[in-house]
Structure formats: C-alpha cells, structure tokens
Structure 1
Amino acid sequence: MGSVRKASAWLGLVEDNDERYYADEYAEYSEGAETADAWVTDPRVRVASESAQAESRRIATVSPTCFRDARNIGELFREGVPVIVNLTSLESGDAKRVVDFAAGLTFGLRGSIERVATRVFLLSPAHTQVVTGEPQGRPQDGFYNQS
C-alpha cells in the first residue's frame, strides 16, 4: 500500500482493504464485526448511535442576502443545529434586523449568540458547548506580565 493510499485510508477517504497490516489479535475486527466498541481505544469513550452522532456533527453556515432569509436561520436553529451567520453581504439595516432576530431566537430557545468576526455570528443551541482557543489561565491585562 502506497503512502498516499495509507493517508487516504487514515482520513477515511478510501476503504482500507489491505489485510497484511492487521495482526492476528485484530482478526475478529477485520471480518466486518459490527460492534460499537470495536474501534474504541479509551474505555471512557462511548459511541452513540450513528443518527445521534450525525445530528451532533451538523453545523450550518448561512449567508443571508435579505431579511427574508432569517427564516432559514430560525428553522435550522430550532432543529438544534449550530448556525454560523455571515452578514457581510447584507446592508447595515438588514444586518441589524437579522442580529436582533438571532438574539431573540437564541434567548427564546435558551441558546447563545457569539460574535466570531466582523459581521459573522455563531448561534449555539443550549446543548452545544463552544470551546475557544484561549488558554484558561492566561492573564487578561497583559502579555507575560507586561502592562
């Protein structure tokens, strides 16, 4: 198996059918066993059903062109899908209306709204945890104790 094929198989882009690389201890899994714990390496990790995993993995990106497109944002968010709203193509008046709509939507469904960039917002449902790249113990007033 070539290195490109190995990388593609590791990424899940192609099926890994090369049986030479499986040791005898893994033979029970290479025969197509359909157990949920077959590929789990950490005993603390539990695999949910595929439909639940697919639901939790969905994130929608919406770039409305007018205020009428706010309905699509609301329908996705009501389904529990996190929505990234890109308002760069809207005029400022319509963008403010969409942000007001999104703020009311997140308040009513107990979610959260967060500004990601200029005129780009993330709407997160109540069951979704947003993790930032900021370290927890970093001082907020300076860089390495500098003011």
Structure 2
Amino acid sequence: MGSVRKASAWLGLVEDNDERYYDDEYAEGTGAGDQWVTDPRVRVASETAEEQGRRIATISPDSFRDARGIGEHFREGVPVIVNLTSMEPADAKRVVDFAAGLTFGLRGSIERVATRVFLLTPADTEIVSGESAGRPGDGFFNQS
C-alpha cells in the first residue's frame, strides 16, 4: 500500500482492505487454553488486590480542583500518596490543609514522606517505619 493510500485510509477517505497486519487468532484468542504461561517460580495470587484491600492511590494534583479525587479515594479507605511538587506553593498549602482536615474528620493520619509529598492513611492502616526500633544508636551502622 502506498503512502498516499495509507494516509487516505487513515483519514477515512478510502476503505482499508490491507489486512495483512491484523492477526485474527491473536484478537480472538486461542480458545480454552488462553491462560498466560509464566515462570513456575512465580506464584499468581488467587484474589485481586482490591478484594484484599491492598490498594494505594497516588495523586499528583495540578490545582486545588484535584483535591476532590484525594477525598474520594480516602473515604473509600484507600491510603493516598499526594505529590505536590508540580503545584504552586499557595495551592499546595490549600491541598495540605484540605488533607489535614480530611484525615482529622475520618480519624486517619497524615505523614510527610518527602518534600511536598504526603501519605494519608485511614484509621485501620498501620504505617511500618523502615527504622529498627531495637537497634541501639551506637551500633554497627553509626559511622560518626
């Protein structure tokens, strides 16, 4: 098919009768044995993450209008990571105030993860810190 014919077919001016790139077997599946073959060392979970309550939402709002999405996920009991690095400082402050009120009202917690990145967790979620509680301050890793 020539380039002019391809362009015309793409624009819908002529019918595209060139079906050599379309694989019917791939599009329709191969029948009963359609399952993906994976490495035998990989264990496939029987339940989805949503059924087990293992979802985390990541939201990078552009303006304060996107704060509603934060609230909707949080009300469903989903922990939310809010990345405010692309926002203006005034709008970012408003979103943090909104998130603080949201977590207070629903008995959750808010924690600063990095500069302008916050983690909102519902009341039934436990945050496990990467620091070892039992490690003494003057132990092996103290290089001072």
Q: Report the TM-score when normalising by structure 2.
A: 0.63
1:126 aligned to which of 106, 120, 123: 123
Give the counterpart letter for 1:70 in structure 2: A
Alignment of 1:31-46 (within 5 A): none
The 1:62/1:55 distance shift into structure 2, 3 A limit, reads farther
Matched pairs, number? 106
Secondary structure, aligned partner of 2:53: helix
Q: CA deviation at 1:102?
A: 0.2
The 1:53/1:60 distance shift into structure 2, 3 A limit, reads closer
When Rg is computed on C-alpha atoms for both structures, the one with the higher figure is 2
Name the CA distance, whole Å, in 2 between partners of 1:74 and 1:123.
10
Q: Which moved more, 1:53-62 or 1:108-117?
A: 53-62
Secondary structure, aligned partner of 1:85: strand
Counterpart in the other structure of 1:102: 99
Give the counterpart letter for 2:70 in structure 1: I
Q: Is the 8 A contact 2:49 2:55 kept in 1?
A: no
Alignment of 1:1-147 (within 5 A): 8-12=39-43, 50=47, 54-139=51-136
Give the counterpart letter for 2:41 in structure 1: W
Give the counterpart letter for 1:54 in structure 2: E
Q: CA deviation at 1:53?
A: 6.0
Whichever structure has more helix as a proportion of its residues is: 1
Gaps of at least 5 residues in structure 1 are: 14-35, 37-49
Q: CA deviation at 1:52?
A: 8.3
Name the CA distance, whole Å, in 2 between partners of 1:82 and 1:75.
11
Cα root mean square deviation, aligned = 2.7
Q: Report the TM-score when normalising by structure 1.
A: 0.62
Secondary structure, aligned partner of 2:92: helix
